[in-house]
Amino acid sequence: MKPAILLLTLTAAAGSCHNNKPAAEKTTGRDTIPVQVMSLEKADSRQDIFASGQFTTDDETSLGFKNGGVINRIYVKEGDAVSKGQLIATLHLAEVNAQAEQATLGLQKAERDYARASSLYKDSVATLEQMQNAKTALDVARQQLSAVKFNQSYSEIKAPANGYVLRKFANEGQVVGPGTPVVMVNGGRQGEWLLKAGVSDRQWAAIQPGDKAYIETDALPGQRLPATVSKKSEGVDATSGTFIIQLKLQQKPHAIASGLFGKATITPSQAVNAWVIPYDALLDGDQNEGYVFVTNDNKTAEKVKVSLGGIANNKVFVTGGLDSVKALIISGNAYLNDHSPIVIQNNTARP
């Protein structure tokens, strides 16, 4: 009996070992992820910056009334041509005219008072102080009438030059404050054409006046309009929350209207010192940062955070986070976790 029992025990143990071996091999095969890697080298590169905006001219002007009031008439519509000095809009003048009449009457009274005081002073009836006070009152009345007449002249809007009405911001009967824009006009293609575009803070820092660019628009399919960065804002635009840059077109286009949208491709003159990696190697990326998998021992994957300088043409410009890294994992990273075991299938030198 004992030899039989011993034989059965050894047989069971052998079977158990035989069954456990494939399981261990299966586990190892599941946990080890095949990947491809590339070596890393930091170099100076120029990354194109893409921005979109609207066409405009450098002689666009918003016109409004110096004084607030109720708009009486607006004589133009959007798109109308205007000539220099043409009347564009007027305010209801009842209040201003009443002020002018009051100032006129005040001046007349001041003139009479001064004449009377001067006559009495000559007759030694009025004192010198009384005559001087009358003269001061006369001067004040004259200035008040001059100010009212000035306000009367600015209770209407006239075209400053030949051009076109681009936009109308108000309507007849509307109450507007002093300086509130009522219409916007331009110089009728006499000025330089611009594209005003919004960029991020990182892009703003990379762009310099004089940088070359080209602009594309749906109004001119298949054409690239050469341009140059002419100006960049020194503060954030309160409306859009971006920094505004101006690109001046090198030639005057014939089929462009103010307000049309355009897409600009800007080539910065300043080179960026960065690692260039494939877009597929980036995980969970946003505008400024993201994550990649790297390896330093060719056996284990490590997830590291990187700083981004931009993305263009399926390439990512990494400005920080890859120092002292030996290799970047560029394939198979979708199946990796931090510290996953890996096996390298082949090396890739460039993105």
Give the pLDDT confidence score for residue 305 in this predicted structure. Answer: 93
| Reported confidence tier of residue 347, pLDDT bands at 50, 70, 90 | low
- Return the pLDDT at 208: 92
Residue 310: predicted pLDDT: 77
Residue 216, both tokens: 């594309």
Question: What gap in Å lies between CA 282 and CA 232, rounded to an integer?
Answer: 31
pLDDT digits 0-9 by tens, 113-152: 999 999 998 888 889 899 899 999 999 999 999 988 887 8
Q: Are 159 and 77 in contact (CB under 8 A)?
A: no
The predicted structure's pLDDT at residue 18: 45
Per-residue confidence (pLDDT) for residue 52, from 0 to 100: 93
Q: Give percent of the chain above pLDDT 70.
A: 89
Q: What are phi and psi of 17, to 5 degrees?
A: -65, -40
Q: Which pLDDT band, with edges at 50, 70 and 90, does 13 fall under?
A: very low
Query: What is the model's pLDDT at position 248?
Result: 94
pTM of whole model > 0.75? no
Scanning the structure block, which residue is given the tokens 């041509």? 81
Tell me the domains of the chain and their CATH numbers: 33-46+272-348 (2.40.420.20), 50-58+192-267 (2.40.30.170), 65-91+156-190 (2.40.50.100), 94-154 (1.10.287)
What pLDDT is attached to residue 263? 95
For 186-241, the pLDDT digits (tens) are 876 677 889 999 998 878 888 999 999 999 999 899 899 999 999 999 898 888 88
Q: Tell me the CA end-to-end span of the chain in Å, nearest whole number.
A: 71
Q: Using an 8 Å Cβ cutoff, are 157 and 82 in contact?
A: no
Q: Which residues, 6+ apart, have CB-to-CB distance to 72 below 8 Å? A: 89, 90, 91, 92, 93, 172
- Helix or strand (DSSP H, E) at 96: helix 94-122
Confidence of residue 349 (pLDDT cuts 50, 70, 90): very low
Q: Which residues contact 215 (CB under 8 A, 6 or more apart)?
A: 195, 224, 225, 227, 247, 249, 262, 263, 264, 265
